[in-house]
Structure 1
Amino acid sequence: MHCVRKVTDDLYWVGANDHRLALFENIHPIPKGVSYNAYLLLDESTVLFDTVDWSACRQLLENMEHLLEGRGLDYLVINHMEPDHGASIEEILIRYPQVKVISTEKAFMLMHQFGFHVDGHECIQVKEGDGFSFGTHEVVFVGAPMVHWPEAMVTFDTTSGVLFSADAFGSFIALDGKLFADEVDFDRDWIDEARRYLTNIVGKYGPHIQLLLKKAGGILDQIKFICPLHGPVWRKDLGYFIDKYDKWSRYEPEVKGVMIAYASMYGNTEAAAQALAARLCEKGVTNVAVYDVSNTHVSYLIAEAWKYSHIVLASVTYNLGIYPVMKSFLEDMKALNLQNRTFALIENGSWACKSGDLMEKFIAEEMKDMTVLNERLSLASALHADKAAELDALADAIAASLEGKE
């Protein structure tokens, strides 16, 4: 049974939703699912913009068959070759043998690498600034390399103002019938998963996102719809989401607040983290989020690190080093290029307390444009009453930093 939705008078969403997949890219949990978006244009020529994951191919084919009503498919535009969008290319080529394929040079290279038999079809290689006509619709192709694969491009329909944005402006969460962002309470129900998607999938490539945003800035007044490959279509309040992407890709904190991430073996370091959270709230700093790095998937930790201006790392010493899950969190922040944050440290060790110095060294030498507050809470096994002044001093330093009094 087909499941389609109209975007404009002659453009339709023909994608699918996936609630069966547990791990996106086999690493990121998606408890609320994900959508694979593809779009079919019914102009003088028929045009499919991208495909879907192989698991959703049957739904894509049923959707297309319903809308085409016996017409053939004239063009297949591939903006992004990653398999969650490109895996069904081969099936489209088989079902529609006359289809012409439009994409970039690197995308065609990847098609061959994945074993897609495009050579029997007319392949139209496009580059930055090239235009194409499908009848009444004129499109322009814009390079978007490393957002987040090197072959990626976006396609702008100058006739209808639709930007096919590939993986940019995407989000986790299945659509479940609600195609447009204005059909949901995005700021309440979606923004956290949109941030988690961006920061973990594309966050490393902030400068490349900035370059794409600058290109889009030149036609911002012409963009009426943003059609990403995951998540809802934007047709209202586009500036809200564009501003989020601008902040995230510049590594600018979204809010002033404190993320406390703790690594605790027997609960003592956790108790110190909770005590600090309480002290901060007593001092009026209530935008505080506390996470156990041992049982919180790192994709959520990364998303929260992107959100907050201040990060407290509380770690036990383990084998004279940083507790492994905390070290992994640090490594992931480095790998994804997080910048411009202020850190505070809590360290614990029963006979050789090393974690604080090691965390500070990692932040200073391995990460970019970070600040570490001088105040530190050091524990010998557990938090005792004699550390009350040290705890207060740390809370005061964080509060002052949040007020810009460093």
Structure 2
Amino acid sequence: MAATRFVKINEHVHYIGVNDRYTHLFEGMWPLPDGISYNSYLFDGGSKTCLLDCVRIDSVSEFFVKLDDALDGRKLDYVVVNHMEPDHTSSLKSVLERYPECKVITNKKAVTMMENFYSIGEDRAILVADGETIDIGERKLTFYTTPMVHWPESMVCFEEETGILFSQDAFGGFGTLDGAIFDDQVDWEKYREETIRYYTNIVGKYSVQVIRALKKLGGLDIKMICPDHGPVWRDNIGRIVTLYSDLSEQKTEDGVLIVYGSMYGNTEQVAEAIARSLTEEGVRNIRIRDVSKTHISYLISETWNYKGIILGCPTYNVDLFPPMANLVEVLKKQKMKNHILGTFTNYTWGGGAEKAFAAFAEESKWDVLPTTVDVMGAPKQEDLDKCAQLAKEMAEALKASK
């Protein structure tokens, strides 16, 4: 059998996605140590063909080779734009130039973005509304809007006959597809953490909208999920749906994340003392992160994951240590919940950080431990005693929350 550049998903759906191992920061912010995939699918409706989402423009040459191979001499009739973010649409203009008779199937909100991004007008579009079904040759696709998952124009489409959900960014994750395309071909533990980081970094603050979308799609008989990033789910779709459901409901893990900033080591000593006391109180799942060395992407993901959060830093210009101030501002915008918060600070001649942490504690609406540790210079015995008290309160709060 001759080799093909695409992967056959079934008799009428072909995977023609590409891997990006060159981009360092997704959206210019989020690290991609293992790269990312941009998934695209050719849907064969018999007498008509349809492309479901495009890829980033950097990979358009490779993409066209795969698309041409999958089309096998046929023309492209439609391209579905489920989501307008440029990692999926920056090659759209090239697709329409290559296939001038091709029409874009999308929604009204996406058309405005399409015009603004690429000067592609509504005359090239077929507009669909929530719940509307479109014939693609002898097959049908039904479209469901999923606003703010994670852009306002976002939607998904579903083929009822085979139970395939084309889910755009939903159910996706960071990481390239290294030979394997399907969930039963990959090591899920390798992808799980990067899927969590993708959700918490990109989608997390819209978790209320994710819950609504999951409820809307809950009545569909989904047998396969084809997302725009990460593996195609055909064997255990319950695994990815459950993970997204747990993340959207902000279910947390029983453990403590300590994030500290330290200029000369004194605040780090406090973090170490708290961690040691937590261990003596029976807490086994403890992670310490230096806010100056750990990228905010990972701190968001880990904060989302842990029930107990302890933040500490020195006073800097009568305020929080700047890297910690940045983390606190990001956490405010993430709208996280279901956490227990403890804080510790350090100062030399004048405080300020403790007041900033107190303001964050009030605004976060997390459960806040009564003891705070505020050290002047190097920690003394009375400071270490307070560290032990803070750890005791955290351990008791964790037990009470079960």
Q: TM-score range by the shorter chain?
A: over 0.9
CA contact (8 A) 1:360 1:372 kept: no
1:383 to 368, 379, 389: 379
Post-superposition CA distance 1:220-267 (Å, at most 9, x none): xx10111111111111222222122122222332x1110100011111
Partner of 1:238: 237
* CA displacement at 1:120 relative to structure 2: 5.8
How many Å separate the matches in 1 of 2:307 and 2:377? Answer: 29
* CA displacement at 1:62 relative to structure 2: 0.5
* CA displacement at 1:115 relative to structure 2: 2.3
- Worse-superposed segment, 127-136 or 100-109: 127-136
User: Are residues 1:355 and 2:353 paired?
Assistant: yes
Q: Which runs of 5+ in 2 are unaligned?
A: none
How many Å separate the matches in 1 of 2:276 and 2:401? Answer: 21
1:225 partner letter: M
How many Å separate the matches in 2 of 1:375 and 1:3? Answer: 61
Q: Which runs of 5+ in 1 are unaligned?
A: none
* CA displacement at 1:196 relative to structure 2: 1.1
How many Å separate the matches in 2 of 1:297 and 1:245? Answer: 23
CA contact (8 A) 1:172 1:197 kept: yes
User: Are residues 1:96 and 2:99 paired?
Assistant: yes
CA contact (8 A) 2:183 2:236 kept: no
Q: Secondary structure at the match of 1:190?
A: helix
Partner of 1:48: 51
CA contact (8 A) 2:37 2:176 kept: yes
Partner of 1:154: 156
* CA displacement at 1:116 relative to structure 2: 3.8
Paired residues for 1:287-366 under 5 Å: 287-365=285-363
Paired residues for 1:254-293 under 5 Å: 255-293=253-291
Post-superposition CA distance 1:276-302 (Å, at most 9, x none): 112212322110111111111101100
- Worse-superposed segment, 197-206 or 232-241: 232-241
| Percent of aligned pairs sharing the same letter | 39
1:132 to 123, 131, 134: 134
Partner of 2:397: 401
* CA displacement at 1:118 relative to structure 2: 4.4
How many Å separate the matches in 2 of 1:324 and 1:236? Answer: 46
CA contact (8 A) 1:311 1:344 kept: yes
* CA displacement at 1:271 relative to structure 2: 1.7
Paired residues for 1:111-190 under 5 Å: 111-118=114-121, 121=124, 123-186=125-188, 188-190=189-191
1:28 to 16, 27, 30: 30
CA contact (8 A) 2:82 2:154 kept: yes
* CA displacement at 1:79 relative to structure 2: 0.3
* CA displacement at 1:153 relative to structure 2: 0.6
Post-superposition CA distance 1:289-323 (Å, at most 9, x none): 11111111101100001100110001111111111
CA contact (8 A) 1:104 1:151 kept: yes
2:75 to 72, 76, 82: 72
2:191 partner letter: W
TM-score by length of 2: 0.96
* CA displacement at 1:216 relative to structure 2: 1.2
TM-score by length of 1: 0.95
1:371 partner letter: D
* CA displacement at 1:378 relative to structure 2: 2.1
Q: Secondary structure at the match of 1:374?
A: coil
Partner of 2:222: 223
How many Å separate the matches in 2 of 1:39 and 1:28? Answer: 25
CA contact (8 A) 1:171 1:194 kept: yes
How many Å separate the matches in 2 of 1:91 and 1:235? Answer: 31
1:42 partner letter: D
How many Å separate the matches in 2 of 1:118 and 1:64? Answer: 24
* CA displacement at 1:274 relative to structure 2: 1.6
1:131 partner letter: T
Q: In 2 relative to 1, CA 2–80 (structure 1 residues): closer, same or farther, beyond 3 Å?
A: farther
2:172 partner letter: G
* CA displacement at 1:341 relative to structure 2: 1.1
CA contact (8 A) 1:2 1:59 kept: no
How many Å separate the matches in 2 of 1:398 and 1:93? Answer: 58
Alignment length (residue pairs): 399
* CA displacement at 1:405 relative to structure 2: 7.0
User: Are residues 1:83 and 2:86 paired?
Assistant: yes
How many Å separate the matches in 2 of 1:112 and 1:53? Answer: 18
How many Å separate the matches in 2 of 1:217 and 1:275? Answer: 47
How many Å separate the matches in 2 of 1:125 and 1:405? Answer: 48
- Worse-superposed segment, 347-356 or 62-71: 347-356
How many Å separate the matches in 2 of 1:274 and 1:242? Answer: 37
* CA displacement at 1:2 relative to structure 2: 6.5
2:317 partner letter: N
Post-superposition CA distance 1:170-216 (Å, at most 9, x none): 10111121111222221x21121111111111111111111100011
2:224 partner letter: F
CA contact (8 A) 2:49 2:137 kept: no
Post-superposition CA distance 1:47-79 (Å, at most 9, x none): 100100001111111001111110001111110
